[in-house]
Structure 1
Amino acid sequence: MKALPVGLAALAMSLSVSMANAAKYDIDPTHSFINFKTKHLGFSWLSGTFNKISGTVDFDAAGGADQKVNLTIDTTSLDTNHAERDKHLRSPDFFDVEKYPTATFVSTGYSGDANGGKLSGDLTLHGVTKNISFDVTKIGEGDDPWGGYRAGFEGSYTLKRKDFGMDFNLGPAAEEVQIDLFVEAIKKK
């Protein structure tokens, strides 16, 4: 019966060591991007970006389940390079930015290693929260020229607008939106 407490102690120690390996990073908003694209009438692509994002990353260079992301997107910063279209996309027909000025993603799990894997979490967009999963890949990590340490990641997710209460009819070609996430984060000192 003495093996059980020893086994629990070993498990607790391994978990505390594992949790200690995850370093805290702040997302660098000037080098991080959330791009989106959807088909325009089935003839071409309409693309845009959100110019203001912020958040944190917990990154464990050894890999494992300690990887975490907490991301906030300023939906008012939506930019498709066309003022009238941006005004319409910010309206209640789509993002309704007066009512929902931010969207968030809070990770709830990760499976993979330090180079990539599957990230799961709660995406809250347009007042609707859905648990989603998508593949992420580490782009690189290392010292920067200013004495800091950075890590970069990318991921993609395809969402259905109607799942998030955005059902303005743009035709069947525009029901899905591809989201591409590029995050560069600076290790906290």
Structure 2
Amino acid sequence: MKKILLSAAVAATLFGANTAHAADYVIDTQGAHAFVNFKIKHLGYSWLHGRFNTFEGSFSYDSANPNASQIMVNIDTKSIDSNHAERDKHLRGGDFLNVDKFPKATFKSTSIKFDENGDEADVTGEFTLHGVTKTITFEIDKIGEGKDPWGGYRVGFEGETSLKLADYGIDYNLGPASTYVDIGLYIEGVRK
């Protein structure tokens, strides 16, 4: 009986050791090591750049099983910042983000598929903007991971996608060169 119990305990220990669980990370917005940026063409002649100053999120990631990763991000649409106060007021209004009615934009992944090197992945998930939810897929790159000088552990990723404004009910006429906006997500996560 002791041999059976010992064998069961050893098997459980070995099975548990081989079952990797993804670590949970919080996106480091407090230390300003994460950004949600955007750019859109201005009349087809140049780019207008901006960002969302306030957002939060978390993700799970394990380099031994990266395809089990997940990510969730909440963006405060009122925090849009294009470096021009009057333009930002217009962007927050009914012609664009309508932040009083739609104060948040969100993304929640449904699948993440890394390449064989674990350096790039296709992230698919549900993105909600302006009250409209669409399934989107975009590519991310792993920047790196490791211990930080304060005894923590960090991992960083970046990714970009292009969104058609009309798909999200934003149909203000900015001209034919400005129907898409490019969104960039640059994150550094701190393991919990």
The TM-score by the shorter chain falls in which range? 0.7 to 0.9
The SS at the match of 1:100 is coil
Residue 65 of structure 1 aligns to a residue in which SS? helix
1:65 Cα offset (Å)? 1.9
Aligned to 1:94: 96
CA deviation digits over 1:39-97, x for unaligned, max 9? 00111111100011111111111244211101001111100000000000000100111
2:67 alignment partner, SS class: coil
- Which whole-Å CA distance do the structure 2 matches of 1:58 and 1:64 have between them? 9
Residue 129 of structure 1 deviates from its aligned partner by: 0.3
Partner of 2:113: 111
Equivalent residue number for residue 157 of structure 2: 153
Alignment partners' CA distance in 2, 1:44 and 1:150: 36
Distance 1:64 1:36 in 2: 27
Match of 1:44 among 43, 46, 51: 46
Q: Name the residue aligned to 1:22.
A: 22
Aligned match for 2:132, one of 110, 122, 128: 128
- Alpha-carbon spacing, 1:153–1:115, altered in 2? closer, same or farther (3 Å): same
Residue aligned with 2:78, SS: helix
Could you say what secondary structure the match of 1:88 adopts?
helix
Count of residue correspondences: 173
SS of residue matched to 2:156:
strand
CA RMSD of aligned residues (A): 1.5
Task: Name structure 2 gaps, 5 residues minimum.
Answer: 1-14
Q: CA deviation at 1:146?
A: 1.4
Q: Could you tell me which residue of structure 2 aligns to residue 176 of structure 1?
A: 180
Which residue is 2:72 aligned to? 70
Counterpart secondary structure, 1:89: helix
- Structure 1: 5+ residue runs without aligned partners? 1-12
- Rg larger for: 2
**Structure 2 CA distance for aligned equivalents of residues 87 and 186 of structure 1:** 33
Same amino acid, percent of matched pairs: 53
Letter in 2 for 1:31: H
Query: Counterparts of 1:25 and 1:78 in 2: how far apart (Å)?
Result: 25
TM-score by length of 1: 0.88
Query: Runs (4+) of structure 1 moved beyond 4 Å?
Result: none
Letter in 2 for 1:144: D
Contact kept? 1:120, 1:133, Cα under 8 Å: yes
One-letter amino acid of the structure 1 residue matched with residue 151 of structure 2: G
AA of the residue aligned to 1:54: E
Q: TM-score, normalised by structure 2?
A: 0.86
Alignment partner, residue 191 of structure 2: 187
CA distance in 2, matches of 1:84, 1:59: 40
